[in-house]
Structure 1
Amino acid sequence: MFKKILIANRGEIACRVIKTARKMGIATVAVYSDADRNALHVEMADEAVHIGPAQANQSYIVIDKVMEAIRQTGAEAVHPGYGFLSENPKFAEALEAEGVAFIGPPKGAIEAMGDKITSKKLADEAGVSTVPGVMGLIDDAEEAVRISSGIGYPVMIKASAGGGGKGMRIAWNDEEAREGFQSSKNEAASSFGDDRIFIEKFVTQPRHIEIQVLADQHGNCIYLGERECSIQRRNQKVIEEAPSPFLDAETRKAMGEQAVALAQAVGYTSAGTVEFIVDGEKNFYFLEMNTRLQVEHPVTELITGIDLVEQMIRVAAGEKLALAQDDVKLEGWAIESRLYAEDPYRKFLPSIGRLTRYRPPEEIASPERVVRNDTGVFEGGEISMYYDPMIAKLCTWAPTRADAIEGMRQALDGFEVEGIGHNLPFLSAVMEHPKFVAGDMTTAFIAEEWPEGFAGETLAADALRRVVAAAAAMHRVAEIRRTRISGRMDNHERKVGADWIVTVQGERHVVTIDADREGATVRFEDGTEHRVVGDWTPGRPLARMTVDGAPLTLKIGKITGGFRIRTRGADLRLHIRSPRQAELAARMPEKEPPDTSRMLLCPMPGLLMKVDVEEGMEVQEGQALCTVEAMKMENILRAERTAVVAKINAGPGDSLAVDDVIMEFE
């Protein structure tokens, strides 16, 4: 077995590999860029080597710099994680020439299956059903338009070396094909150092289901069940689960055997994933093979009990698989939610900055329940604009899917993140959605269910009443603290008052609080009562309460006259006033928001790549105005109405902050 391995990656996956290596007694080496000097993976590793500037194409994907780090430290093997150099055959070749083991498949398998164009050709030759498309490389945008219109819209424009949603665009017409080709090409060059593009038919209403395979160097290959990855946004997975709520045992076996046959046909070893598009009739079509560890591998680990990183290391060391196909048992249900540094209230645009608060839920591992959080950040750390926006993967396991979903709801409610925009409320909203709960989903789920974007959830009447009851009880506690009264003497308690009016979501709730030493009974105007118990104290940002015996976790922020409360995807402002205060508040005028309709504001921190208009030019609704790059993704900003450009305040190469004025209109 290896004594020392180097992890050629960063963030949560580097931390993940270090954990398994430590468990196996293997020393680890981290590499880091300028931006990651104080990163968690650097702190966790036994050694760390600086390899260059913040930009990935000057550090993490420069083979020579990684090879020099290997020589400096004497690492015997390299785990590439995912992204960066994980599917680069030149890197595998360089390692082989150096006599260093690659913890991944052989170079030939990477070339055969890691390249999407080649893999689709091989699959087609092997008789595997593939999605219609043009496998040849596309030279320019006009050729992309001709091919797209020939296949028939919609089409998927994809980077040959792509992954993780990078270098991918869906085009519904000629103009989108033209723009999508160029953006995909640019993103592919920036993220992978390979700008080759191909086009295929975009199958509407598909499910994205993938099979995990594991193969050794002695001809043994098995599959470890499937993962349902249909909850996606912009082709980037958001929530995954294992097993799929859609597949039956017969289809699972057929997909698994086909995935194994394909892997063996190309001499594959290590962990890999064969991805399929599955239609409503359970027909499945080969999409691509990822010749690396997948981001969502934890859900497979949770239902099989198999540490995939450990297996990859053992295979690379020449060991035989200790498992046969009959030994693989799928137990219970696992769900993974990806925590992204992106603001769902601003169309999911990237967010950067300092994590002023980062408190994941407690990790649990018991026969009844598992909570696992794979992360690469820490409280006080910086979220950089240079890398992928994913900062953690929250996973839950339970014996049933319903219990795994409920476990995820509670874990998300208790996950505290402040200082940056993040998608925790959106993840909670998905967990509450009836279609998701029913397992009724396609890759279009997010686009169909939130067509206008995410603006927060509106709680159902019964759920809202539980929150109102808890907030009223907490307000009473805060008022007692404020007036410096202990709350135990009846003659003093009356000074705080029992009658309150709570306004939230445009509703007015009149409540009366009857408190005792164990909790409080909150009575509503219609006579219904809720029993609230909890040990929340003023100033604590998280309240773990029970209402009528059921748990309720609330993120608490103080606002004038009440609380900002976040729970189950809702972001609520509750004002809690005495009857007299409520009467006076009703007479206060509302503050009008500033008029920014004549400005183009930068919606995210990023780099201005291109300006498509000039001062004095008339622009039409939907016309591209400029392109901003953030976290390896290009974002085209468009005109919201017909206008004339009066002034342009920034140019290509400028770094922009949120709400910087890029241009003004007449």
Structure 2
Amino acid sequence: MFKKILIANRGEIACRVIKTARRMGILTVAVYSDADRDALHVEMADESVHIGPAPASESYLVADKIIAACKETGAEAVHPGYGFLSERASFCAALEKEGIVFIGPKPKAIEAMGDKIESKKFANAAKVSTVPGYLGIIDDADHAERIAGEIGYPVMIKASAGGGGKGMRIAWSKDEVRDGFERARSEAKSSFGDDRVFIEKFVVDPRHIEIQVLADAHGNVVYLGERECSIQRRNQKVVEEAPSPFLDEATRKAMGEQSVALAKAVDYQSAGTVEFIVDRDRNFYFLEMNTRLQVEHPVTELVTAIDLVEQMIRVAAGEKLPLKQADIRLNGWAIESRLYAEDPYRNFLPSIGRLTRYRPPREGRTEKSVVRNDTGVFEGAEISMYYDPMIAKLCTWAPTRLEAIEAMGEALDGFAVDGIEHNMPFLSALMKHPRWREGRLSTGFIAEEYPDGFAPVTPDEDQTALLSAIALSCSLIESNRRERYGDRLRPAAAPLRDSWVVKLGANYLPVTLLESVVTIPFETDMQIGGKTVTVASDWRPGDSVWVGTIGDRKLTAQIRTVLNGLRIDWQGISVRAKVFTPRQAELDKLMPVKLPPDTSKLLLCPMPGLVVAIAVAEGQEVKAGETLAIVEAMKMENVLRAERDLVIGKINAGPGESLAVDAVIMEFA
């Protein structure tokens, strides 16, 4: 077994590999760029080596620097994680030339499966079902348009060397093919250094289901069940689960056996994933094989109790798999939610900045469930514009799917993150969405269910009562602390008025207290909406999470102090709350409402990013839908289009400029 390995990656996956290596008694080496000097993976590793500037093209993607770090530290093997150099055959070959072991498949398998065009040819030869498409080189947009017309719309345009949703576009018409071809090729060149793309038929209402395989160097290959990855946004996975709520045992077996056949055909070694698109009739078609560890591997680990990173290391060290196919059992249900630095209220645009608060839920096993959080950040860490926007992968396990969903909802509601915008509200709301809970999924789920974008959930009557009870309890506890604790810092009882009004958003709800004192821990009877409930919690001022009971319901909600009140986040609801006496409530209703400023004549930068192109000139007349500018952030190009017919006034930014969120790119006449 290896004594020391180097992790050629960063963030949560580097931390994940370090945890398993530490448990196995293997020393670890981290590499880091200028932007990651104070990163968590650097702190966790036994040694660390600086490899260059912040851009990945000058640090994490430079194979020679990784090899030099191995020689400097004496690392015997390299685990590549995912992304960066993980699927680059030349990197694997360069390591082998230097006598350093690559913890992953051999160059032959990476070359065969890492290129989407070549992988489909291998899949056809191995009798794996594939999607109709054109696998040749596409010369230009005209050529792409002709091919799409022959295949039939809609079509999927994909980067041949791509992954993670980069360099991928869906086109429903010839105009969309031309634009999609250029965007996909540009993103592919920027992200992978390879601008080749191919086109295939897009399956309507598809489900994205993938099979995890594990193979050794002795000819043994097993499949570890499937993962459903259908909740996607811009072709990037957001929520995954294992197993799939859609597959039956016969389909699972057929997909697994085809995946094993493909792995054997390319002499695959290590952990790998065979991805399929599945239609409504359970017909499945090969998409690609990822010759690396997948982001969503934790859900497979939770339902199989197999540490995939450990098996990758053992296979790379020459050991045989300790498992036969008959040994593989899927136990219970696991769900993974990807916490991204993205603003769900602004079409999930990237967000960067410092994590002023980062308080994940407690990990571990409870009586009914398991919580796991794979992360590479900490409170005070900075989310950079140079890398992927993922903050953490929150996972839950339970005996059944609905129990796993409930555990996930509670864990999300107890996960406090401040300093940046993030997609937690969306994930929390999703856990209560009827279609998600029923398992009626497709890769178009988000676009279909949120056609106008995601907005805070509006609380119904029952939810309003619950949130009002939380707000009043916090207000009473805060008042008790101010008025009674003094310097003694010990509990005391305080007399109370019985009539209150809680303002949630623009709504006012009367609440009557049936107790005359506040006790610590808090436990008080309240009458809300004609119902009497007991509210109990050990919340303290300053706590970011309120945990307690209201009647017979256990609730977990996030609490943030705002001007003259609180903001409560729960199950996708985000609402400001103020507690008034009845007279104060009457006066508050008379206060004027402040209107937001008019920005209709400005194009604002929707996220921190780099201006790639300005597509118009001052004085130019522009029609609705035409491109105004292209801004790149976190490895994705975002096309900003005109929302109406207009005339360009002043242009304030040019290509190559880095802009903050809401910076004015141009003004309209």
Q: Which secondary structure state, in structure 1, belongs to the residue aligned with residue 275 of structure 2?
A: strand
Question: Following the alignment from structure 1 to structure 2, what is the Cα–Cα distance between the partners of residues 10 and 642?
Answer: 45
Q: Deviations over 1:582-616 (max 9, x none)?
A: 11111111111100000000010000010000000
* Paired residue type of 1:341: A
Question: Following the alignment from structure 2 to structure 1, what is the Cα–Cα distance between the partners of residues 12 and 351?
Answer: 18
The alpha carbon displacement at 1:538 in A equals 2.4
2:570 aligns with one of 567, 571, 586 = 567
The alpha carbon displacement at 1:489 in A equals 8.1
* Paired residue type of 2:523: G
* Residues 115-194 of structure 1 aligned to structure 2 (within 5 Å): 115-194=115-194
Q: What's the counterpart of residue 495 of structure 2?
A: 493
The alpha carbon displacement at 1:438 in A equals 0.7
Q: Which secondary structure state, in structure 1, belongs to the residue aligned with residue 514 of structure 2?
A: strand
* Paired residue type of 2:183: S
Q: Deviations over 1:187-231 (max 9, x none)?
A: 222222222111111111011010000000000000000001000
Q: Which secondary structure state, in structure 2, belongs to the residue aligned with residue 162 of structure 1?
A: coil
The alpha carbon displacement at 1:461 in A equals 2.4
* Residues 322-471 of structure 1 aligned to structure 2 (within 5 Å): 322-366=322-366, 368-471=368-471
* Paired residue type of 2:369: R
Q: What's the counterpart of residue 513 of structure 1?
A: 513
The alpha carbon displacement at 1:30 in A equals 1.0
Q: What's the counterpart of residue 75 of structure 1?
A: 75
The alpha carbon displacement at 1:303 in A equals 0.4
Q: What's the counterpart of residue 298 of structure 2?
A: 298
Distance 1:337 1:488, change over 3 A: closer
* Paired residue type of 2:11: G
Q: Is the 8 A contact 1:352 1:382 kept in 2?
A: yes
2:590 aligns with one of 587, 590, 598 = 587
Could you tell which deviates more after superposition, 4-13 or 530-539? 530-539
The alpha carbon displacement at 1:488 in A equals 8.4
Q: Which secondary structure state, in structure 1, belongs to the residue aligned with residue 213 of structure 2?
A: strand
Q: Is the 8 A contact 1:57 1:191 kept in 2?
A: no
1:602 aligns with one of 598, 602, 605 = 605
1:613 aligns with one of 616, 629, 654 = 616
The alpha carbon displacement at 1:62 in A equals 1.3
* Paired residue type of 1:521: D
Question: Following the alignment from structure 1 to structure 2, what is the Cα–Cα distance between the partners of residues 540 and 5?
Answer: 40
The alpha carbon displacement at 1:543 in A equals 1.2
1:542 aligns with one of 545, 553, 563 = 545
Q: Deviations over 1:549-579 (max 9, x none)?
A: 3221121122344321001111111222111
Q: What's the counterpart of residue 638 of structure 1?
A: 641
* Paired residue type of 2:403: D
State the TM-score, normalized to the length of structure 1.
Answer: 0.97
Q: Deviations over 1:321-366 (max 9, x none)?
A: 0010111111111000000011101110000000001111110135
Q: Is the 8 A contact 1:469 1:530 kept in 2?
A: no
Q: Which secondary structure state, in structure 1, belongs to the residue aligned with residue 51 of structure 2?
A: strand
The alpha carbon displacement at 1:167 in A equals 1.2
Q: Deviations over 1:216-250 (max 9, x none)?
A: 00000000000010000001000000011111111
CA RMSD of aligned residues (A): 1.5
Q: What's the counterpart of residue 661 of structure 1?
A: 664
Question: Following the alignment from structure 2 to structure 1, what is the Cα–Cα distance between the partners of residues 187 and 40?
Answer: 27
Matched length: 662
Q: Deviations over 1:512-546 (max 9, x none)?
A: 0123535111112x521221100122232221121
Q: What's the counterpart of residue 275 of structure 1?
A: 275
Question: Following the alignment from structure 2 to structure 1, what is the Cα–Cα distance between the partners of residues 244 and 531?
Answer: 41
The alpha carbon displacement at 1:511 in A equals 1.0
* Paired residue type of 1:286: F
- Structure 1 unmatched runs, 5+: none
1:522 aligns with one of 513, 523, 526 = 526
Question: Following the alignment from structure 1 to structure 2, what is the Cα–Cα distance between the partners of residues 519 and 436?
Answer: 35
Question: Following the alignment from structure 2 to structure 1, what is the Cα–Cα distance between the partners of residues 5 and 366?
Answer: 31
Question: Following the alignment from structure 1 to structure 2, what is the Cα–Cα distance between the partners of residues 55 and 254?
Answer: 43
Could you tell which deviates more after superposition, 139-148 or 311-320? 139-148
The alpha carbon displacement at 1:478 in A equals 2.3
- Structure 2 unmatched runs, 5+: none
Question: Following the alignment from structure 1 to structure 2, what is the Cα–Cα distance between the partners of residues 294 and 152?
Answer: 32
* Residues 15-34 of structure 1 aligned to structure 2 (within 5 Å): 15-34=15-34
* Residues 167-246 of structure 1 aligned to structure 2 (within 5 Å): 167-246=167-246
Could you tell which deviates more after superposition, 114-123 or 552-561? 552-561
* Paired residue type of 2:605: C
Q: Deviations over 1:478-520 (max 9, x none)?
A: 2333444799888x514xx221112225432111012353511
Q: Is the 8 A contact 2:471 2:578 kept in 1?
A: no
Distance 1:550 1:109, change over 3 A: same
Distance 1:485 1:292, change over 3 A: closer
Q: What's the counterpart of residue 63 of structure 2?
A: 63
Q: Is the 8 A contact 2:484 2:492 kept in 1?
A: no
- 1:311 matched to 2:314? The reply is no
Question: Following the alignment from structure 2 to structure 1, what is the Cα–Cα distance between the partners of residues 150 and 625?
Answer: 25
Q: Is the 8 A contact 1:61 1:192 kept in 2?
A: no
- 1:531 matched to 2:543? The reply is no
Percent of aligned positions that are identical: 66
Q: Which secondary structure state, in structure 1, belongs to the residue aligned with residue 112 of structure 2?
A: helix
Question: Following the alignment from structure 1 to structure 2, what is the Cα–Cα distance between the partners of residues 539 and 355?
Answer: 17
Q: Is the 8 A contact 2:204 2:279 kept in 1?
A: no
The alpha carbon displacement at 1:640 in A equals 1.1
Q: Is the 8 A contact 1:301 1:307 kept in 2?
A: yes
The alpha carbon displacement at 1:122 in A equals 1.5
- 1:89 matched to 2:89? The reply is yes
Distance 1:489 1:244, change over 3 A: closer
Could you tell which deviates more after superposition, 635-644 or 552-561? 552-561
Q: Which secondary structure state, in structure 2, belongs to the residue aligned with residue 493 of structure 1?
A: coil
The alpha carbon displacement at 1:71 in A equals 1.6
Question: Following the alignment from structure 1 to structure 2, what is the Cα–Cα distance between the partners of residues 117 and 68?
Answer: 33
Question: Following the alignment from structure 1 to structure 2, what is the Cα–Cα distance between the partners of residues 104 and 559?
Answer: 49
Question: Following the alignment from structure 1 to structure 2, what is the Cα–Cα distance between the partners of residues 502 and 650?
Answer: 46
Distance 1:35 1:112, change over 3 A: same
Question: Following the alignment from structure 1 to structure 2, what is the Cα–Cα distance between the partners of residues 367 and 140?
Answer: 59
Q: Which secondary structure state, in structure 2, belongs to the residue aligned with residue 425 of structure 1?
A: helix
Question: Following the alignment from structure 2 to structure 1, what is the Cα–Cα distance between the partners of residues 55 and 173?
Answer: 33
Q: Which secondary structure state, in structure 2, belongs to the residue aligned with residue 329 of structure 1?
A: coil
Question: Following the alignment from structure 1 to structure 2, what is the Cα–Cα distance between the partners of residues 259 and 617?
Answer: 54
The alpha carbon displacement at 1:399 in A equals 1.0
